[in-house]
Amino acid sequence: MPRRILVTGGAGFIGSGLCRRLVEAGHEVVCLDNFFTGRKSNVEPLLGHPRFELLRHDLVNPIMIEVDQIYNLACPASPVHYQHNPVKTVKTNVLGALHMCGLAKRVGARLLQASTSEVYGDPGVHPQPEDYWGHVNPVGPRSCYDEGKRLAETLMMDYHRQNGVDVRIVRIFNTYGPRMAEDDGRVVSNFIVQALTGADLTIYGQGEQTRSFCYVDDMVEGMIRMMDQDRILGPVNLGNPEETSIIELARLILGLTASSSRIVHQPLPDDDPVRRRPDIALARRFLAWDPEVDLETGLRATIDDFRARLT
């Protein structure tokens, strides 16, 4: 059944892919973004579509709009951006979630909160299941994002318990793919840009820390499945359970780009997690979801997209 759907942060990397999928599925989509990290070019192919609407709005301010579903993705998601203005990051996470909960309550919409694997901090449990409460520094340089997302989850569940708001929570692990910003500071985009421009690939520490990389199309599919099911509220992990070390990723990207760039090492930043890998048993059980795009295939598509933009 066609719905009217609000996607906050809809001009971002993941949000724009979500908007495209929802429009293709026959829904009417309202994309909201303040364009701090989102880009109009990400949704430019949709601008003339009769079922797509683009609104410039900052979610720290309330908004009233009639919709059936809300995907709340609004917030800078990379350290270089969320640490640029940490107070604003906290406001976006907390006030944004508060305003979307209030909107969902008023109009009777279902609300999906895009949370993050960062709620687990530098985890003491591996892989990370949803019932692990995390190991987060509440006063560190990443806490504006980590704790902001944790509080957003709190607001979702309190609005559900107190006011009956129909909520869903997903915890997004490292996601990559076309339309990533060249300057977002994430490891995949950093390595690709460095490799394509002949710059040194910068690795923090020895590169033995691990991440789990999920292709953006798989992530969007998981979010839609979470929104459209009635079996679980969440939180539910969405990510690729295949673990890859940073040094392995660097070597793979060098090979795929045929780059002559060197690998150089720098000190680890504060509170950088050593290992990160999702336990996706709940997603498999309740969403019948599993990532389908392998890392090499996804990186090839991502590299092609970056190469087209950089040349």
Pick from 111, 85, 89, 86: which is nearest to 100 by CA? 111
* 180 touches 302 (CB < 8 A): yes
Nearest to 238 by CA among 272, 276, 283, 277: 283
Nearest to 208 by CA among 243, 256, 260: 243
**Which CATH number does 4-179+213-241+275-293 carry?**
3.40.50.720
**CA count, 13 A, side-chain hemisphere, 68:** 11
Q: How many helices (DSSP H) and strands (DSSP E) are in the chain?
A: 10, 13
Can you tell me the distance from the alpha carbon of 249 to that of 255, in angstroms, rounded to the nearest whole number?
10
CB atoms within 10 A of CB 185: 14
Nearest to 11 by CA among 61, 90, 81, 73: 73
Q: What is the pTM of this model?
A: 0.94
Q: Any idea what DSSP says for residue 85?
A: S
Per-residue pLDDT tens digits of the chain, which is 311 residues long: 899 999 999 999 999 999 999 999 999 999 999 998 889 999 999 999 999 999 999 999 999 999 999 999 998 776 776 777 889 899 999 999 999 999 999 999 999 999 999 999 888 898 999 999 989 989 988 888 899 999 999 999 999 999 999 999 999 999 999 999 888 888 999 999 999 999 999 998 888 888 899 999 999 999 999 999 999 999 999 999 999 999 999 999 999 999 989 999 888 776 567 778 899 999 999 999 999 999 999 999 999 999 999 87
Residue 75 per-residue DSSP state: S
Task: Report whether 118 contacts 186 (CB < 8 A).
Answer: no
Give catalytic residues, as residue numbers: 145
Mention every residue, 6+ apart, whose C-beta is less than 8 A from residue 20. 43, 45, 46
What does the domain layout of the chain look like in residue ranges? 4-179+213-241+275-293
Distances (CA, A) of 263 to 199, 254, 296, 302: 9, 9, 19, 20
**Strand 243-245 with 210-212, pairing:** antiparallel
